[in-house]
Structure 1
Amino acid sequence: MNAPTQAPAHRVRGTEGADLADPAFWRLPRSRRLSEFARLRELDAPVRFTPGNGSRTPFYALVRHADVRAASRQPLLFASAPGATSPEPAPWAKALFGNSMVNMDGPGHAGLRRTISRAFTPRLLAAAEENISAVAARLVDETAAEGPGDFMRSAASRMPFEVICDLMGIPARHRTAILARIDDASEYVGVQRRGRARLRVPGRGLRSLARMQFEMAGIARERRRVPADDVISALVRADVDGRALSSRELGAFFSLLLVAGVETTRNAIAHGLVLLTAHPEQRALLRSDFERYADGAVDEIVRHSTPIIQFRRTVAAECELGGRTFLPGEKAVLLYASANRDASVFADPDAFDITRSPNPHLGYGGGGPHHCLGAHLAKLEMKALFRTMLERLGDVRSVGEPGLVDSNFDNRVGTLPYAF
């Protein structure tokens, strides 16, 4: 078989256009990027892109809903290992911090996921659902007292963080430091550094991740001695295939849950406020009967904003998909942001419609073994927060443009001025 860097480019009709491998593409206005995805979806087959940096491997962009969904659900053909993010995690990083579930396949992934799923018992989830409403009420009351400002520093960021910390059982004394570690660890994921950011001390994000895992290891030791009714206690007493979870496995899961669970949900909440502000008729419909329209509103916010833009897969076996043959070792990028605007699946895909039904968006990973474990929790958080804000803050709305971050990984909001 040809190595990925030697495989010939697959020529298709009309491949001229923007280069998804060029960091400049991800600095284009979001509307321009979505237009380019729409053009790529009309081509005969996935297009191959080659990063300008010779040390990086070419990749094929999967942009159609059917292709992204199929690749998500066939891990034997499109594997998450050795890494689902770009760049792929280095072997030394996995050895030091543990291998995240998003980078695993097969029995190892299934066993770890099964053990973690068991930790989220019905009793814990029921308590979490009740707690979510209480957290939303408290945060909105605090928001009302503080007054308008930056939404990303108030309820949007604090809601998912507080809920996850409560569910996991992270003591209040650790939370300020852990939140700072999360921000440092995720600040430049998928972002090309420019200007003064180039002078940033190398490895700061990794050091923040290491410190966060060190703090979490200390909490885990406490829970081994004195268990509580929380996820950390359940996991430190759990086992995978007859063996206890190692400190690195626990640390990798904690990092995934804290970083991914907080970052994606707070971005979805922020985009939701922007969308409801820009579409007052949808906002009025939601307020008219929240219980009736809430689930549809959350799904449409996730579809329209797509918090995670892409994940990477490595071809594990020769296969056909989307009009071309993939060879082992080749890379494919699953572009959820494009799949969720596919006109062959979604009527008027650029419209924001909370009554859209069906809404088979791929915002939680497209199904399959890597479907987001926290999807249900994220939906509950979004519904609780929007319900409480609409009830208690009345005309809560975004004002001005959101400060979007030019990332090729997530649809991140840096700042969002708002008023009520």
Structure 2
Amino acid sequence: MSTFLNHGKMTVETPPERRPITSYDQIDLSDLDFWARPMAEREHAFELLRERDAPVFFAEPAQTFVPRGPGYHAVVRHADILEISRNPAVFSSEGGGATNIVDMPAEFAEYFGSMINMDDPRHARLRRIVSRAFTPKMIQKFEDDVRTAATSIVDDLLEKGPGCDFVTEVAARLPLKIICDMMGIPEKDYTFVFDRSNVILGSTDPEYVPEADQDAILTALLTAGAELQQLVQDLAAHRAEHPTTDLTSSLVNANVDGERLTLQEFGSFFILLVVAGNETTRNAISQGLLLLTRNPGEKARWLTDIDGHAPKAVEEIVRLAAPVNYMRRKVTRDVEVNGTVYREGEKAVLYYWSANRDRAVFPDPYRFDITRDPNPHVGFGGPGPHFCLGAHLARREITLMFRELLARVPQITADRPEWLFSSFINGVKHLPCDF
């Protein structure tokens, strides 16, 4: 779950000078310094990688707490990601964790061993139990809650006035409130949940974990995971005896074909839900405002029919935002995919962010077009069993947040984003807004 696990080099200062990237052999996705480069340089680097005949193979960095792995294919083209995603039997999510390039240490499994890091039949069992909360019918039941929350957030935005941080005051508040309310987490714990999720996904960013040495960051990650799990397990124990209408009560007392979640499974699922749900949706909303600010013509077009343009506009925001840069798979047997041979034991890292800019699929891929159709992006992951469980909810949250903003604060703009220092999450930490 943490980008810390993916890198041995912990340089946090931006080097004073960098050689411009002119060829693919200058690129090292395993070097954290690559992810500190300006966005335009990273876009150019992935363009060079996509132009290769086959995925480039990278060495894994050495770590003090796990043996060095065999290396990984950087899968950057849309067609390759689709093909690999459809074949989970060969490209496994287990064996060290789908959210890390370097294998996850054993002690992480208690907190981060959620279904995202499992294959069938374990994955199917957990997904079968929890998926009842994320059907389109269930999301429709949450619609009023999302709309009410979005209205309240914009009320507060107008009261505070221009100059505030759009991430913390708007984009982060909506998914945090919705997920915490769904689970029955009281409002007094919102900040606690928000801060711990920042540590888990921002462990390489000195704002969230100031200490740069591996031991300190490892401790911070395990502490944040343990604290989130303890919070929800305490709630689950109470709901088992005193059920309400919240999702915690439903999941703790759920009996699907005789199957129940253990407390450990429930705790890991909550960490996945709160981290994935909060971080990805807030980054899509934040980057959505950036895209509208930098493309005023598209913003004006959306304003002509807010509801009518919303479905395609939201998909285009998710395509370009691509809040999760990648997921990892481990190869279970030798196989050939689109001309590339993957050997048993190797890893394949699926760079969704790159695939969403693939010229073979998206004409003029860097252009923000709220009417783009078709738009087969992989911002919610590729096809197959690990497609994002919360995609319906994320779409509704993004839609209703922008409906409220465009209708009530149509002049809002934002720029000068402060990006998260991470290879895993394509995130915005802070974003001053004006209106």
| TM-score w.r.t. length of structure 1 | 0.91
1:4 corresponds to which residue? none
- Verify: 1:99 aligned to 2:113, yes or no: yes
- Verify: 1:348 aligned to 2:361, yes or no: no
2:33 corresponds to which residue? 24
- Verify: 1:76 aligned to 2:89, yes or no: yes
1:3 corresponds to which residue? none
- Verify: 1:188 aligned to 2:203, yes or no: yes
2:161 corresponds to which residue? 147
2:127 corresponds to which residue? 113
2:237 corresponds to which residue? 221
SS at match of 1:357: coil
For 1:156 and 1:62, how far apart are their aligned partners in 2?
30
Q: 2:375 aligns with which of 344, 347, 359?
A: 359
SS at match of 1:367: coil
- Verify: 1:165 aligned to 2:180, yes or no: yes
For 2:251 and 2:317, how far apart are their aligned partners in 1?
32
Change (3 A) 1:213 1:344: same
User: 1:322 Cα deviation (Å)?
Assistant: 3.0
Change (3 A) 1:227 1:362: same
Q: How does 1:217-366 map to 2 (within 5 A)?
A: 217-239=233-255, 242-366=258-382
Q: Is 1:290–1:387's contact at 8 Å kept on the other side of the alignment?
A: yes
- Verify: 1:64 aligned to 2:80, yes or no: no
2:392 corresponds to which residue? 376
User: 1:80 Cα deviation (Å)?
Assistant: 0.6
2:3 corresponds to which residue? none
Q: Any idea what the Cα deviations from partners look like across 1:358-379, whole Å, max 9, x if unmatched?
A: 0000000112100001111011
For 1:192 and 1:201, how far apart are their aligned partners in 2?
12
For 1:412 and 1:313, how far apart are their aligned partners in 2?
22
Q: 1:395 aligns with which of 404, 411, 431?
A: 411
User: What is the one-letter code of the residue matched to 1:301?
Assistant: I
Residues 200-209 or 224-233, more deviating: 200-209
For 2:116 and 2:389, how far apart are their aligned partners in 1?
11
User: What is the one-letter code of the residue matched to 2:298?
Assistant: Q
User: 1:323 Cα deviation (Å)?
Assistant: 1.8
For 1:246 and 1:219, how far apart are their aligned partners in 2?
14
Q: Is 1:65–1:340's contact at 8 Å kept on the other side of the alignment?
A: yes
Change (3 A) 1:274 1:77: same
SS at match of 2:250: helix
Q: Is 1:111–1:240's contact at 8 Å kept on the other side of the alignment?
A: no
SS at match of 2:121: helix
Residues 310-319 or 164-173, more deviating: 164-173
Q: How does 1:26-45 map to 2 (within 5 A)?
A: 26-45=35-54
- Verify: 1:198 aligned to 2:207, yes or no: no
SS at match of 1:198: coil
Q: Any idea what the Cα deviations from partners look like across 1:209-260, whole Å, max 9, x if unmatched?
A: 2111111111111211121112111100124663421111000000000011
Q: Any idea what the Cα deviations from partners look like across 1:368-400, whole Å, max 9, x if unmatched?
A: 10000111101100111111111112301104x
For 1:164 and 1:311, how far apart are their aligned partners in 2?
23
Residues 81-90 or 195-204, more deviating: 195-204
- Verify: 1:90 aligned to 2:115, yes or no: no
Q: Is 2:134–2:392's contact at 8 Å kept on the other side of the alignment?
A: no
Q: Is 1:124–1:230's contact at 8 Å kept on the other side of the alignment?
A: no
1:408 corresponds to which residue? 423
User: What is the one-letter code of the residue matched to 1:160?
Assistant: P
Instruction: Note the residue ranges of structure 1 that are not aligned, 5 or more in a row.
Output: 1-13
For 1:235 and 1:69, how far apart are their aligned partners in 2?
32
| TM-score w.r.t. length of structure 2 | 0.88
For 1:292 and 1:121, how far apart are their aligned partners in 2?
23
Change (3 A) 1:214 1:120: same
For 1:28 and 1:133, how far apart are their aligned partners in 2?
37
1:131 corresponds to which residue? 145
Q: Is 1:80–1:105's contact at 8 Å kept on the other side of the alignment?
A: yes
User: 1:195 Cα deviation (Å)?
Assistant: 11
User: What is the one-letter code of the residue matched to 2:302?
Assistant: L
Q: 2:62 aligns with which of 53, 59, 73?
A: 53
User: 1:122 Cα deviation (Å)?
Assistant: 6.4
SS at match of 2:328: strand
For 2:378 and 2:196, how far apart are their aligned partners in 1?
29
Identity %: 42
Q: Is 2:46–2:354's contact at 8 Å kept on the other side of the alignment?
A: yes
